[in-house]
Amino acid sequence: MKFGVVIFPGSSGAHDMIYTLETVMGHEVVQVWHKDKSFYDVDAIALPGGFAFGNRPNSDIAPVSNLMNEIVQFAQSGGYVFGICNGFQILIELGLLPGSLLHNDPQKFICKNQYILADNPKTAFTMQVGFEPLNIPISHNKGRYYAPDDVLNEIEDNGQVLFRYCDSKGRVTDDANPNGSVNYIAGICNKNKNVYGMIPHPERAADPELSNTDGLYILESFVKWVSK
C-alpha cells in the first residue's frame, strides 16, 4: 500500500508516522511537503501530529499550503485520509470532519499513555480492533473534542465515533477522560467512512522495541479496510 504523508513546518510527529508505516509495517511512503502542488499516486493520505506552524490556529495553514485543496478534493472523491492529533485538527479546519478541538480541561499540556475503547466496529480504524481497551500515547494541548448538540447527535446516530477514552478495564468514565472531551470522544470519522481523525497517536505504539504495539491494531485495520 502507498501512503502520502504530508509534512508541515513543526510537524514533530511526521517521522514517527513515516517510520511506522514504512519500517515497521513495510508499506511504501511518499513524503509530501505542504507546499507541493499535487500528490503522487497514493492509496491514502496521512496528516501526522506535532504542532504544525508552531501550533498556531490551523486556519493559518490553508492560505500558505498548496496541498489543502488537493486533500479536500481527494477526500471528497472518496479517497482515504486520516489525521492524528494536530492532523485531526487540520481535517476539522478543512471542513472534512465535524466539530472542533478546544484547549484541554484542565488547561495544560498532557503527555502520557491513555486507554481508549473502540465504539463502532464497522470503520477502517476499528474493524480489527475488537472491544478491548488499547493503551495509546496522547500528547496535546488542544485535544478536547467538542460539537454542539445537533452535530453531536448526528455523529452518534451515524456511528461516526471511533474511540472513547476509558480506563484500563474499558470503563468509560469522567475520571478516564484526560482532556474533557464531550461524550469522551477520542476520534471520529465522516459520514462516508473515508476520513478519519483521532487525538491519540497509534504510530507511537507500534514498535515492539517500545513494548507496546496496541497502535498496530488500528493502523493494520485501516490498511485491511482500504485494501479490500
C-alpha 227: how far from its chain's center?
A: 19
Candidate list 34, 70, 189, 201, residue with the active-site label: 201
203 labelled catalytic: yes
DSSP one-letter code for 21: I
Burial 92-106 (b: 16+ CB within 10 A, else e): bbbebbbbebbebee
201 labelled catalytic: yes
Query: Are the C-beta atoms of residues 140 and 179 closer than 8 Å to each other?
Result: yes
Q: Where are the alpha helices (DSSP H) in 60-174?
A: 68-76, 86-93, 149-157
Q: Look at residues 119, 117, 164, 116 and name the one whose alpha carbon lies nearest to residue 137.
A: 116
The C-alpha cell that represents 216 in the structure block: 498496530
Report the C-alpha gap between 220 and 156 in whole angstroms.
25
Q: Where are the alpha helices (DSSP H) in the chain?
A: 14-19, 68-76, 86-93, 149-157, 214-227
Candidate list 34, 70, 189, 203, residue with the active-site label: 203
Candidate list 85, 93, 140, 189, residue with the active-site label: 85
Report the C-alpha gap between 89 and 87 in whole angstroms.
5
Report the C-alpha gap between 210 and 197 in whole angstroms.
24
C-alpha 159: how far from its chain's center?
A: 17
85 labelled catalytic: yes
Enzyme catalytic residues: 85, 201, 203
